[in-house]
Amino acid sequence: MIVTVTLNAAIDRTLVVPNFQPGQRHRASVGFPSAGGKGINVARALKRLGAPVVCTGLAGGRTGTLLVEELTNEGILNDFVRIRAESRTSIAVLDPTSNAYTEINEWGPEVSAEELAILREKLAYLAQRAEFVVLSGSLPRAVDPSFYGELVRELNRGQLLTVVDSEGEPLRLAVEAEPYLVSPNQREAEALVGHEFVDQEDLAAGLDEIADLGARNVLITLETGCYALLREDRAEVRVRAEAPRVEPISGVGAGDTLLAGFLAARVSGKPFEDAVRSAVAVGAASVLEAGAGRFDPREASRLTPLVQLEHIEHVAQEG
């Protein structure tokens, strides 16, 4: 079982608007609501991969009710904590003529200490049967940035494998708590280590920089694939994976889908190299559809042997 946690869940409403221009009146050719948030995106992709998953988090008001209904309609097991404040709604405009994707995200609800305590209790219960617990996305307003780090420490004490995909201060503090895996994109990884990655050597060195901060395993996701540092017992694997070229429709949520592909492969017993190859193929398949976490598993299977995997050397850090 994999448990995903989404504290700042949302209803994502995607509008397909050809030739979208700010300040003009448009009529959407397609519009559809979907339960959203990074942990939910991961859960949706895991469901499509046949991995056992349950998602939890916070859901409030009519938006929260709709969010839970959407997940249930998709057949995704869920057990959310109901909160008093209204969950957020996000609007995304996809222009198929230019592949431009415009997002407008609300801040999200304020959450009380009592509601967070209930979530902690629920997570402790759900995690009893879990192999991985995935903590994804932003934190709601007024939630202390150390919250993910606190959860990582609690779950580590229960010998659970924690996965963190966030950004900024919540990510930094979570990494210090020594999670099993962190999965930032390049921008988030650069902010975490405090400098830009200007070439492949910087990306390779960035893996060790993040590991030195506390993470056991690191996946840095890119538009073209990923860099990975993966360790088990005394074995250590460093690889760069490049996705096959496809004609993208939307890259939103591709990193979440890539992470799901990696976790699903590991749960099924695949070694690290095969798990990375599967992950990158799933991420590539997801850009062929609008909607985070959505992809055709058959397309992912077709792309898997086309992923280029290269072992990379350890890059000694200066100083």
What domain range includes position 80? 2-18+29-311
Residue 112 falls inside a structural domain:
yes
Question: Which CATH number belongs to the domain containing residue 273 in this structure?
Answer: 3.40.1190.20
Amino acid residing at 100: A
Q: Is residue 51 part of a domain?
A: yes
* 317 within some domain: no
Beta bridge partners of 11: 35, 89
Per-residue pLDDT tens digits of the chain, which is 319 residues long: 999 999 999 998 888 888 888 888 888 776 777 899 999 999 999 999 999 999 999 999 999 999 999 999 999 999 999 999 999 998 878 787 887 778 788 888 999 999 999 999 999 999 998 999 999 999 998 899 999 999 999 999 999 999 999 999 999 999 999 999 999 999 999 999 999 999 999 999 999 999 999 999 999 999 889 999 999 888 899 999 999 999 887 777 889 999 999 999 999 999 999 999 999 999 999 988 877 888 899 999 999 999 999 999 886 665 5
DSSP labels, 162-224: EEEE--HHHHHHHHHT--SEE--BHHHHHHHHTS---SHHHHHHHHHHHHHHT-SEEEEEETT
Dihedral angle of Cα 142, 145, 148, 154, to the nearest 10 degrees: -90
Look up residue 290 and give its DSSP letter.
S
- The Cα–Cα gap between 29 and 34 comes to 17
State whether the Cα torsion 156-182-102-287 is positive or negative.
Answer: negative
Question: Does residue 24 belong to any structural domain of this protein?
Answer: no
Q: From CA 115, how far away is CA 94, in angstroms rounded? A: 35
What is the number of structural domains in the chain? 1
229-251 as b/e: b if 16+ CB within 10 A: bbbeeeeebbbbbbbbeeeebbe
Structure tokens given for 319: 């100083």
Per the domain annotation, does 23 fall within a domain?
no
